[in-house]
Amino acid sequence: MIYLITGGAGFIGSNYVNHLLAENRQVIILDSLTYAGNLENISSHLNYENILIPTTHRRLSPISIEDESPQTIRVEYDSSTEKNRLAFKTKGFHSRAVNVESIADSVQTLLQQHSLIFVYGSIVDSDLVSALMPLCDIVVNFAAETHVDRSILNPDEFIRTDVYGTYVLLEAARKCENLKKFVHISTDEVYGVATGHSFTESDPINPRNPYSASKAAADRLVYAYNQTYNLPVTIVRPSNNFGPYQYPEKLIPVMIIKALRDEPLPVYGDGRQIRDWLYVNDTVRALDCIVSEGGIGEVYNIAGGNERENIEVVRFILQTLNKPETLIQHIKDRPGHDRRYSLDDTKLCEELGFRHSGSFEENLKSTIQWYLDNREWWQRIIESDSDYTEFIQAWYGSTVNAGK
């Protein structure tokens, strides 16, 4: 079984890839290393041979980098933002340049010696996607723009990646007769606000911000490819994840890092918005069940079973780190902020036998410990990644320190 994991350098994707590799599976990652993608998340499986960068992304072509030291990479990219980001993102990693026309051969050859091949590129690139798709048995599509706040500032990339990118993957997938399953990672946010019961898979969707609307469009497009073309798809709607390697813009890592730095913790409005927290290790285990046993054309919620007000989570983090609650700073609420998300995952538990592990508090403590033990990982982002500082300034203005 060869897995094509899109977005495998992001938070949930990298946790899933690390799990698959520990189980001796073979994985091809396709990831465009946006601000949220990070090769360090999967670094223990990377060496100088298995990072492939299509030559279309290099101004100097052909380029040979085998003679360079493993700690350097040529940065003679053109001056567009994407190329500068590529230089930043691959710094410290040794990669290979490959022609798109021969990328399938390169990947196939390398798969004889490596269990992971990382391909730099976007899911909207139909040439690249069409070259990789026939090589795999299972696709798991994590690739997406994922931050609600960023979608409010600039929805454009959300439509391009989350909707159009999913379409490109589906088109390539329907030409591959041997593909066993296309698993699409959707989100609990497609249901919109939960005012009463916890949502089941048969509840209507009602997204209320550009992120959740683009995810909802992709979710239904994937379903349509099953109904129209018989594509073997399964759709997954997890609730709010937390755990190691989460980019420091989502609630839990933001609050942990701010508390560790004795900086004000920005809490939207009264902080009483409710989220259902799901530990990323549970997501990964649930995905194992869904990939192997999940029904074709079916949707599966993955709930956390841990509904908590944001302010409770923030207080717990402060207590655990022995920091004062005076660090909490209430700021203006997010526009269209959904008050509560709530999922029912009886279908996953009863039909596929899934069980959650550990309590929310234990898992949150382990996550806090991970951020304590991995300061270099997040310091590099908040101190040298211009994507991070520019977003913090654009979204929070002067009310919140970008972390420099």
- CA 146 to chain centroid: 7
Contacts for 333-338: CB closer than 8 Å, 24+ residues apart: 333/268, 333/269, 334/148, 334/149, 334/152, 334/268, 334/269, 335/152, 336/152, 336/208, 336/209, 337/268, 337/269, 337/273, 338/189, 338/192, 338/193, 338/208, 338/209, 338/212, 338/273
Determine, following the binding rule CB under 6 A, whether residue 32 of this chain makes contact with ligand NAD.
yes
Which of 28, 124, 194, 299 is close enough to bind ligand NAD by CB under 6 A?
124
The DSSP code for 84 is: H
Phi, psi values for residue 309, rounded to 5°: -70, 145
Instruction: Closer to ligand NAD by CB, 164 or 327: give it.
Output: 164
Whether 27 and 101 have beta carbons less than 8 Å apart is answered as: no
Sign, Cα dihedral of 338, 144, 13, 43 = negative
Q: Find the catalytic residue in 188, 338, 344, 387.
A: 188
The C-alpha atoms of residue 32 and residue 143 are separated, in whole angstroms, by: 9
Determine, following the binding rule CB under 6 A, whether residue 7 of this chain makes contact with ligand NAD.
yes
Q: Tell me how far, at minimum, the Cβ of 240 lies from ligand NAD, in Å.
A: 5
Residue 268 three-state SS: strand
Number of other CB atoms surrounding residue 51 within 10 Å: 20
| Annotation says 189 is catalytic | yes
| Annotation says 40 is catalytic | no
284 contacts: CB under 8 Å, gap ≥ 6: 12, 15, 16, 19
Site residues for ligand NAD, window 10-29 (CB under 6 A)?
Answer: 10-13
Q: Which stretch binds ligand NAD (CB under 6 A): 4-12, 97-105, 200-208, 376-384?
A: 4-12
Instruction: Closer to ligand NAD by CB, 77 or 211: give it.
Output: 211
Which of 20, 36, 42, 318 is close enough to bind ligand NAD by CB under 6 A?
36
Which of 247, 279, 341, 360 is close enough to bind ligand NAD by CB under 6 A?
247
Q: Tell me how far, at minimum, the Cβ of 197 lies from ligand NAD, in Å.
A: 20
Determine, following the binding rule CB under 6 A, whether residue 391 of this chain makes contact with ligand NAD.
no
Instruction: Closer to ligand NAD by CB, 144 or 170: give it.
Output: 144
Site residues for ligand NAD, window 164-203 (CB under 6 A)?
Answer: 165, 185, 187
Determine, following the binding rule CB under 6 A, whether residue 9 of this chain makes contact with ligand NAD.
yes
Q: Tell me how far, at minimum, the Cβ of 241 lies from ligand NAD, in Å.
A: 4
Which amino acid, residue 240?
N
Residue 367 three-state SS: helix
**Run of H or E residues at 259:** helix 251-260
The C-alpha atoms of residue 120 and residue 55 are separated, in whole angstroms, by: 10
Determine, following the binding rule CB under 6 A, whether residue 128 of this chain makes contact with ligand NAD.
no
Q: Find the catalytic residue in 31, 145, 189, 338.
A: 189
The C-alpha atoms of residue 96 and residue 119 are separated, in whole angstroms, by: 10
Instruction: Closer to ligand NAD by CB, 138 or 144: give it.
Output: 144
Determine, following the binding rule CB under 6 A, whether residue 215 of this chain makes contact with ligand NAD.
yes
Q: Which stretch binds ligand NAD (CB under 6 A): 77-85, 136-144, 195-203, 255-263?
A: 136-144
Determine, following the binding rule CB under 6 A, whether residue 212 of this chain makes contact with ligand NAD.
no
Choose among 49, 47, 36, 48: nearest CA to 10.
36
Determine, following the binding rule CB under 6 A, whether residue 6 of this chain makes contact with ligand NAD.
yes
Name the residues that contact ligand NAD, by CB under 6 A.
Answer: 6-7, 9-13, 30-34, 36-37, 122-124, 142-146, 161, 165, 185, 187, 215, 238, 240-241, 247
Tell me the catalytic residues. 188-189, 211
